[in-house]
Amino acid sequence: MIRPFKAAVLQFRIDMGAVDANLGRALALLRQAAESGASLCVLPEMWSTGFAYDRLPALARTTPGILHELRKFATEKRLVIAGSLPERSGAHVYNTFHVINATGAVTGHYRKAHLFQPSGEHLHFRKGTSAEVAPTDVGIIGPHICYDLRFPELSRKYFLEGATLFCVAAQWPSVRKAHWELLNTARAVENQLFVAASNAVGRSGDFHFSGGSLIVSPWGERLASGGEDEGLAIATIDPAQVDDVRRRIPCAQDRNERAYRKTRARS
C-alpha cells in the first residue's frame, strides 16, 4: 500500500529553443519541490525547447542528455519526475511524455497521440500510436499531453489498466483557460483518481499561457492550484482515497460493455 505523499506541479515560462535557460528554470523548481518534501513532480509540455518548429530535429538531440540529468536528480532526491520533451526517432520527431521513477529508471514513454492541428502540430510531429500506464513508486500513472484531455477514450483506457493518477503536461493557452480547469476536473471525477496537471506561463511564440497548474482529487476537489506566475503548487495525495471513492461509487463494475458496442442502423 502506497502511503500519502506530496505531489508538485511546476510551471514556468518556456523560451523557444532556449534549452539551457529552460533546463535551468526546471531544475531550480525541481530542487524547490524536493526541499518541500515532494515525491512526484510534473513538468509542462515540451518544456526544454517550446514549439520551435524550424529547429525541432536539431533541438531534439538535446533530450537524451536532459533525461540523463533528470534520472540522476530523481535518484538522488528519490523523486518521480514526469513531463514531455521532443524525441527524435529516425527522420521523425515525437512529442514524448517520459515518466522517471524514484529509482532513476524510465518506466513510462508515451508519444502524443492527438496532435493539435489548429497550431500545426501535425505538420511537425509524428503521431504516437500506443499508450500504456507507467508503474511508479507513487502509483500507476496515466500520461496525458495537453490536447489529450479532450479525448476521454485515452483516459478510460488508462482507468481500465489500473491507473490511480493522471499526470498531464501542457502548454494550454490562456484563451481556453476555462476548458483547462473543466477537463482536468472531469477526467479526475469520471475515472475516480487524482490528476496532477502542469501548464506553462507567460508568452512563448504566438501564444500566451496563464499557468493554473492544478492537482484535483477523485471527488473533483481542487487540492492545489498555481496562479499566473512561475512557481509550483503542492498538495498531499492519499492513494487510499482512490480505493474509497471506487468502493462508494463502483463505476468499474457497473460498466455495460454491451451498450457501448456499435450497432447496425435499422432499415
Q: Is residue 113 situated within a structural domain?
A: yes
Q: Three-state SS for 187?
A: helix
Residue 152 to residue 169: CA distance in whole angstroms: 16
Q: Distance between the two ends of the chain, CA-based, in angstroms?
A: 54
Residue 12 to residue 253: CA distance in whole angstroms: 41
pLDDT per position as a tens digit, 122-169: 999 999 999 999 999 999 999 999 999 999 999 999 999 999 999 999
Q: Is residue 38 situated within a structural domain?
A: yes
What DSSP designation does 147 have? G
Total number of domains constituting the chain:
1
Residue 50 to residue 29: CA distance in whole angstroms: 18
What DSSP designation does 12 have? -
Tell me: pLDDT of 267 over 60. no
Tell me: pLDDT of 205 over 80. no
Q: Is residue 267 situated within a structural domain?
A: no
Q: Is residue 182 situated within a structural domain?
A: yes
Q: Is residue 236 situated within a structural domain?
A: yes
Q: Is residue 107 situated within a structural domain?
A: yes
Label residue 229 by pLDDT band (50, 70, 90).
very high
**C-alpha cell recorded at residue 240:** 487510499
Label residue 1 by pLDDT band (50, 70, 90).
confident
Per the structure, the complete domain to which residue 110 belongs is given by: 5-260
Alpha carbon distances (Å) from 207 to 10, 36, 100, 201, 202: 19, 31, 29, 10, 8
pLDDT per position as a tens digit, 91-130: 999 999 999 999 999 999 999 999 999 999 999 999 999 9
Q: What is the mean pLDDT of residues 213-233?
A: 97
Which are the catalytic amino acids? 45, 112, 146
pLDDT averaged over every residue in the chain = 96
Domain CATH number, residue 184: 3.60.110.10
Q: Is residue 46 situated within a structural domain?
A: yes
- Residue count (the chain): 267
200 within 8 A of 208, measured Cβ to Cβ: no
DSSP for 38-73, written as a single string: EEEEE--TTTTT-S-GGGHHHHGGGHHHHHHHHHHH
Q: Which residue bears the cell 474509497?
A: 244
Q: Is residue 241 situated within a structural domain?
A: yes
Strand partners for 196: 167, 215
